[in-house]
Amino acid sequence: MKSKLSLLLFFGVFALNTVSAQQQGRQPSAQFPQVSSLLGSQLPEVSVFDEQGKPFSTRQLSGKYTVLVFGCLT
Amino acid sequence: METVAIDYRKKGVAFHYIYKALAHPEHNGYVQPFTQQERLLHVAEAKRTLGSSIEWLCDNMKNELKQALGGAPNSQFILDPQGKIISASSWSNPAELRATLAELVGEVSPATTVPDLGLNQLPPPQPAAKGIVPRLQMPGVMRAIVVKPQPSLEPYYVKLRAEIDESFMRDGLGWMYIGFHLDPLLDVHWNNLAPALQFKVRTPTGITVAASKAVAAKVDLEADADPREFLLGLEWDSKELSSASFSSAELIVEVEYYACHDEGWCKPFQQSYILKLVPDRHAGSVRNRGRVGGGRSFRDR
């Protein structure tokens, strides 16, 4: 085991001249078939938070048409 | 999305963004939050930088809402007044959304346009100098693994991201990336006048790491905000650690570093993590590693 592992040197801050790992494209919609399968179902009850950090139940999202969009800073 | 929200709120439609784990850590320097409070800092930052009027909800740290709604990073849903899902798209599309809402509650004409909005979008935080410490190139396709920060009295000003490469996943022999990233929302920078960051790794029986401790290279500049990165050779011996036990095996990383707040204090920190050598599907993927502003932002959508 040690002999095999010795082939892999510890690299501190030295760069490896090989392929970058970040060449994955955007995630195609086809990777998330579960999303369309939710059509017609009730929004699950989940406890999340509002902008002020107060607990918020998804049950509160009723009474009017509501749009939900997932996102983040990146 | 903002134009659709402005037009259809008048028709009684409610709009919410749902904040979830970062899809592409490092974009604009942001790093994955470790706590609910830090996620709320991200929500505040999203509001600040996007200039949007849309209210945010913040998913919990178990990512339960994201998982309950299919796991896609930028999906879009319409609920009817009874809370039933009547439209579901795995990728948000404002034009499609506008058309669907027009069918449901009537068209809005003329539609608000983006130039009408005059959004006050602000730039991301400007940290201390970046681009000082060369970034590591990865040996292949990398996959983020589970990182559990251990209880700490202080915030994790520096956050660990750990990844393993595909050869380790396939053959049990490969590389582990260990990257310590300053959190730009906590307003800190490296104190390069103090000893450099160092860390130790303890592995369970059956997992061997090529170096069990390391120290970051000395940086001449007094302060900077580049990550401190390492690649460690990693090997799994299945005779000593069975496949059944592999996913529960834990590595312990203990790190020591000095950080300075942008407005004053400089302090040493000792913090620790438990790592599991299994993919973390909520950790996101890094694109254009080391390139400032690489990838596409949520604000572009």
Write the DSSP assignment of B180-206 as a string of letters. EEE-GGGTEEEETTSPPPEEEEE--TT
User: For residue B114, what pLDDT band results from cuts at 50, 70 and 90?
Assistant: confident
Quote the minimal CA–CA distance from B209 to chain A in Å.
8
Second CATH level (architecture) for the domain B142-300: Sandwich (2.60)
Contact (Cβ atoms closer than 8 angstroms) between residue B298 and residue A74: yes
What does pLDDT average to over chain B?
A: 92
Question: Cβ separation of B20 and A50 shorter than 8 Å?
Answer: no
Q: Is B103 helix (H, G, I), strand (E, B) or coil?
A: helix
From B47, B51, B63, B57, select the one nearest B77 (Cα to Cα).
B57
Q: What is the mean pLDDT of the segment spanning B93-101?
A: 95
Q: What is the mean pLDDT of the segment spanning B166-192?
A: 94
Mean pLDDT check: name the lowest of A24-33, B18-27, B176-185. Answer: A24-33
Q: What is the pLDDT of residue A65?
A: 97
Burial of B103 (0-12, 13-18, 19+ CB in 10 A): exposed
pLDDT tens, B198-256? Answer: 999 999 999 999 999 999 999 999 999 999 999 999 999 999 999 999 999 999 999 99
pLDDT tens, B5-19? Answer: 999 999 999 999 999
Q: What is the mean pLDDT of the segment spanning B82-87?
A: 96
Q: Which two tokens stand for residue B140?
A: 């292949």
Closest CB from B13, B20, B85 relative to A43: B85
pLDDT over 60 (residue A25):
no
Contact (Cβ atoms closer than 8 angstroms) between residue B73 and residue B20: yes
Task: Supply the pTM of this predicted model.
Answer: 0.84
Closest CB from A20, A64, A74 relative to B30: A74
Quote the minimal CA–CA distance from A57 to chain B in Å.
10
Question: Cβ separation of A48 and B295 shorter than 8 Å?
Answer: no
> Over chain A, what HEC string results?
CHHHHCCCCCCCCCCCCCCCCCCCCCCCHHHCHHHHCCCCCECCCCEEEECCCCEEEHHHCCCCCEEEEEECCC
Q: What is the pLDDT of residue A72?
A: 86
Distance CA B164, CA B277 (A): 8
What does pLDDT average to over chain A?
A: 71
pLDDT tens, B257-284? Answer: 999 998 889 999 999 999 999 999 899 9
Range list for CATH 2.60.40.10 in chain B = 142-300
Q: Is B11 helix (H, G, I), strand (E, B) or coil?
A: coil
pLDDT over 80 (residue B299):
no
Residue B124 DSSP code: P
If one compares B127 and A20, the residue with the highest pLDDT of the two is: B127
Question: Cβ separation of B83 and A61 shorter than 8 Å?
Answer: yes
Q: Which two tokens stand for residue B220?
A: 């001449």
